[in-house]
Amino acid sequence: MNNGRIFNFSAGPAILPDSVLETAAAEMMNYKGTGMSVMEMSHRGKTYDAIFEDTLAKLRRVMAVPDTHAILLLQGGATMQFAMTAMNLLPIKGKADYAVTGSFSKKAYEVACSLDMGACRVACTSPGLSPDFSVQTSIPAQGELDLDPGASFFHYCMNNTIFGTAWNYIPDTGDVPLVCDMSSCILSAPLDVSKFGLIYAGAQKNMGPAGLTVVIVRKDLAGHAPKNTPNMLDYAVMIKNNSMLNTPPTYSVYLLGLVLDWIENMGGLAAMEKHNVGKAALLYNFLDQSKRFLCKADKGSRSIMNVVFSTGDEEQDKAFLKLAESKNLSTLKAHKETGGIRASIYNAMPAEGVKALAECMKEFEDNA
């Protein structure tokens, strides 16, 4: 890149499109002649109201969210949603199923259990899972799900950021609503939102800066929280107040709007999927023929957002990371739970960044 920017493979907060940052910088002191920064605007004022409503409308359009579902712009990240989903939905039938296929889905399950609001049950884990959940290389197939038809919901995490695995199918749970953490894959490909009871995602991977959480909830699933639920954590209250019970994270919402403009200019989610599948294939194709690198995720369970691999040797991994860093390929160190190397290649990572990484891997392999 010629503007001093590096290729940032961070798992999140993560790379944002250059054009989004350029617009944000240009509008920082004076948004469209208002004489104010967006972050200085009253959230109840006309100018900001238009930004907020436009962002909601764009998200509804880009994701084709049906009218049956409300879109909420909240705070607290996925971890707050681990509790909020359970607090709001567990009371419906008093019990819920959890798929534990990675670090965050395990945390979601643990938080839900800690609330003492109903019976939470592990409906499936990843095959080959070790007792401490440290090994997760694949996603269970439909036939491997132990489903309770009386559950309030079935919770899963669509893309496991740490392990580089992803659900490449939407589970069929009959009438049991799907509750899905899409933090690290939202907006990466077209999605049939109508199949989900509730979708949530922290913004800091494919949507914008950390501190904004998107929730898409089927309206009939709100309104079941106990009366003593804090108002900030009640979906029904937030729907009624259009996410403005109090001041929302106004600047982060504006940035989400800029990211959605960028996605629409790129051709929407179908184009985004093609872009992402192509980038991921570059890395997986190389890994599958590599004599030096090993891919952690099984074929069929591979994420197009996070590609996790290793030489199998800690020192060699370090040497590779050093070589990559020298080429401005940055933040490739994997999470400590897996070790090794992780390339997070979210929407905003350009194909040239992934090509440069693949070339670096080849160079490292050739010079072994």
Residue 45, interface with a second copy (CB under 8 A)? yes
- Distance of closest approach, residue 33 Cβ to a second copy, in angstroms: 7
> C-alpha distances in angstroms, 161 versus 12, 199, 270, 298, 364?
9, 17, 22, 15, 25
Site string for a second copy, 49-78 (x = CB under 8 A): --------------------------xxxx
Q: Report in angstroms how near the CB of residue 169 gets to a second copy at its nearest.
A: 28
Q: By the 8 A CB rule, do 60 and 86 touch?
A: no
Q: Tell me the CB-side half-sphere exposure of residue 221, using CA atoms within 13 A.
A: 26
CA dist 168 and 303 (Å) reads 8
85 lines the binding site for a second copy (CB under 8 A): no
Of 21 and 135, nearer to a second copy (C-beta) is 21
- Minimum distance of a second copy from residue 106's CB (angstroms): 13
H-helix or E-strand containing 309? strand 306-310
Q: Least Å distance between CB 145 and a second copy?
A: 27
Contact flag: residue 349 with a second copy (CB under 8 A): no
Question: Residues binding a second copy: what is the number (CB under 8 A)?
Answer: 73
Residue with smaller CB distance to a second copy, 16 or 139:
16
Q: Which of residues 188-227 bind a second copy (CB under 8 A)?
A: 202, 204, 208-212, 227
Q: CB-based contacts of 159: which residues, under 8 Å, 6+ apart?
A: 165, 166, 167, 182, 183, 184, 185, 188, 303, 305, 306
In the list 102, 177, 248, 340, the residue contacting a second copy (rule: CB under 8 A) is 248
- Distance (Å, whole) CA 132 – CA 161: 18
Q: Is 233 one of the binding residues for a second copy (CB under 8 A)?
A: yes
Residue 265 burial (10 A CB sphere; 0-12, 13-18, 19+): exposed
Q: Count the helices and strands in the chain (H runs, E runs).
A: 9, 14
Binding positions for a second copy, 95-114, rule CB under 8 A: 111, 114
In the list 105, 252, 303, 311, the residue contacting a second copy (rule: CB under 8 A) is 252
- The minimum distance between CB 95 and a second copy, in angstroms, equals 16
Q: Residue type for 123, please?
A: A
Decide: is 353 part of the binding site for a second copy (CB under 8 A). no
Q: With contact defined as beta carbons under 8 Å apart, do 201 and 207 qualify?
A: yes
